[in-house]
Amino acid sequence: MKRGDEYVESLRTLRMKVYAFGERITNLVDDPLFRPHVNAARMTYDLAYDPVGEDLVTATSHLTKKKINRFTHIHHSAGDLVRKVKMLRMIARRTGTCFQRCVGFDGLNALYSVTYEMDQELGTEYHQRFVNYLLYVQENDLMLAGSMTDPKGDRSLKPHQQADPDLYVHVVRQNEKGIWLRGAKAHQTGIVNSHEMLVMPTTAMGEEDKDYAVACAIPVDAPGITHIFGRQTNDERKRGEIDQGNALFGIVGGEALTVLEDVFVPWERVFMCGEYRFAGLLVERFASYHRQNYGGCKGGVSDIIIGATTTMAEYNGVEKASHIRDKIAEMIHLTESLYAGSIACSAEGYATSSGAYFVDPLLANVTKQNVTRFIYEICRLSHDVAGGLIATLPSEQDLRHPEVGPYVDKYFRGAAGVSSEDRIRIARLIENMTGGTALAESMHGAGSPQAQRVMILRQANLAHKKTWARKLAGIKS
């Protein structure tokens, strides 16, 4: 297993093509725009050697029986699924943000079971290829970016119907050595500080879309790959400290648009190529695993928001007011409801034919659907308690300014014994954790709310519910 400093140094060996704000970035590790995201991901490595986190962040490989980082593990019990959620909440409490490694983790687990089932039905050899790749990932403790989301273009059209065929990643040619891909993957969390990307289809497909039914592993710095880093709410504040809110670990996960221009992938790294009937299954497996996470990671992030809100109430001198206590109690209730959903879908997990365990998909989708609502309410209550200064504070430069700094210090004091700077710091943390990019990720991460509602209807078994109702009503038919 890598240690945190080894992970950071491994990134220096990559030769990625990354652009941000119209410039090519040559030192990702040390650039203030990227370093917080590197620090957050590093926590997934450091905690594997920390007595506090070791039990949750490590596991035993079912392939080698060696101790490995859990982020490279294949779940083989409901206990594994539960420990995953507990791990995510623990790490989120320490970072207050996305630590980015979950998407690749979920991609590994989805591909493990789906490649097995493909081989069983079709007689292909994808599963053994994937197991060989998994061994490589475990032995080198790699961070993977799960690359599922395509730009999609006109959402009313299928992949093969798009005016521009590159709006979904697709195979443009192949020979005895491998395949070549073209297209792009959007909203790629943590990809600029990952080692590899796991390409997966983004939707169920028909025969006409078979060129788009592709799954494979590619180094993030492979020839033909360009990463265009996305903007975030606080990215213009990265040169300072206080105004960032969470300067050490950042806000959300550092997403990028990743463009593939005729990228070559050797066959040993290809895990689906044209088997369109399994594209939908892979999407559902991945999405359910990923939606399982949100009560864990968002529960941990919400713990920080609750702590910051309670602190701000104290700094404002209103912590004993009954309406303040009631609002904080509601924030706690919503947070624990999210966590309960993640634990429930994990505890109800079951074995697939490959031996790997899968979450209860209905409960996983309900959990993520709740995230799209509860996080907004948690943030609204935080804004209510904190007050308007979270939206109108002068900058850190003004606080430090020799002429106007004393005014900022004087007029932003709160309760006795609390410095203006401390009050400003906690306000900035609330501002950055409860607005902009962070909220959008809660809504659309792991799929939009409508995607979960489709799955909820599909998994709810309405036919059985109607049967039970008719029986109780005395209806014979």
Question: What pLDDT is recorded for position 191?
Answer: 97
| CA dihedral of 427, 428, 434, 438, whole degrees rounded to 10 | -170
Angle between helices 78-95 and 35-46 (to 10 degrees): 140
Query: What proportions of the chain, in percent to the nearest 5, are helix, strand and coil?
Result: 55, 15, 30
| Domain edges within the chain | 289-473
Is residue 289 annotated as part of the catalytic site, yes or no? no
Would you say residue 225 has pLDDT above 90? yes
Question: Taking a C-beta distance cutoff of 8 angstroms, is the pair 201, 149 a contact?
Answer: no
Pick the catalytic residue from 44, 189, 335, 434.
Answer: 189
225: which strand partners?
A: 260
Question: What pLDDT is recorded for position 64?
Answer: 98
**How far from 93 is each of 192, 252, 259, 269, 451, CA to CA, in Å?**
23, 13, 33, 35, 28
Is residue 189 annotated as part of the catalytic site, yes or no? yes
Pick the catalytic residue from 227, 290, 339, 431.
Answer: 290
Reading the block at residue 122, the tokens are 């079709």
Is residue 333 annotated as part of the catalytic site, yes or no? no
Would you say residue 239 has pLDDT above 90? no
Pick the catalytic residue from 44, 98, 115, 315.
Answer: 98
Q: Cα–Cα–Cα angle for 63, 64, 65, nearest 5°?
A: 105
**Mean pLDDT, to the nearest integer, of 201-208?**
97
Buried b (16+ CB within 10 A) or exposed e, 39-60: bbbbbbbbbbeeeebeebbbbe
Pick the catalytic residue from 126, 294, 315, 357.
Answer: 294
Share of the chain above pLDDT 90, in %: 91
Question: What pLDDT is recorded for position 466?
Answer: 92
pLDDT in tens, 331-369: 999 999 999 999 999 999 999 999 999 999 999 999 999
Question: What pLDDT is recorded for position 173?
Answer: 98
What gap in Å lies between CA 19 and CA 13, rounded to an integer? 18
**Mean pLDDT, to the nearest integer, of 374-393?**
96
Is residue 98 annotated as part of the catalytic site, yes or no? yes
Can you say whether residue 5 is alpha, beta or left, with left for phi > 0 and alpha for psi between -120 and 50 degrees? alpha
Pick the catalytic residue from 102, 216, 273, 345.
Answer: 102
- pLDDT mean across residues, the chain: 96
pLDDT in tens, 245-272: 999 999 888 899 999 999 999 999 999 9
Question: Taking a C-beta distance cutoff of 8 angstroms, is the pair 213, 279 a contact?
Answer: yes
**Mean pLDDT, to the nearest integer, of 432-456?**
86
Question: What pLDDT is recorded for position 251?
Answer: 83
Is residue 297 annotated as part of the catalytic site, yes or no? yes
Angle between helices 279-292 and 78-95 (to 10 degrees): 60
Question: What pLDDT is recorded for position 237?
Answer: 85
Count of beta carbons in the 10 Å neighbourhood of residue 111: 28
What gap in Å lies between CA 37 and CA 192, rounded to an integer? 9
Pick the catalytic residue from 216, 273, 297, 345.
Answer: 297
Would you say residue 314 has pLDDT above 80? yes
CA diameter of the chain = 84
Kindly report the pTM of this predicted structure. 0.94
**Mean pLDDT, to the nearest integer, of 94-113?**
97
Question: Taking a C-beta distance cutoff of 8 angstroms, is the pair 299, 92 a contact?
Answer: yes
Question: What pLDDT is recorded for position 318?
Answer: 97
Is residue 441 annotated as part of the catalytic site, yes or no? yes
What gap in Å lies between CA 392 and CA 394, rounded to an integer? 7
Pick the catalytic residue from 117, 196, 275, 441.
Answer: 441
Q: Which CATH number fits domain 289-473: 1.20.140.10, 3.30.470.10, 3.40.640.10, 1.25.40.80?
A: 1.20.140.10
DSSP string, 347-389: HT-EE-TTS-EE--HHHHHHHHHHHHHHHHHHHHHHHHHH-TH
Question: What pLDDT is recorded for position 298?
Answer: 96
DSSP string, 144-164: EEEE-----SSTTS-GGGSSS
Question: What pLDDT is recorded for position 439?
Answer: 80
Pick the catalytic residue from 72, 127, 202, 255.
Answer: 255
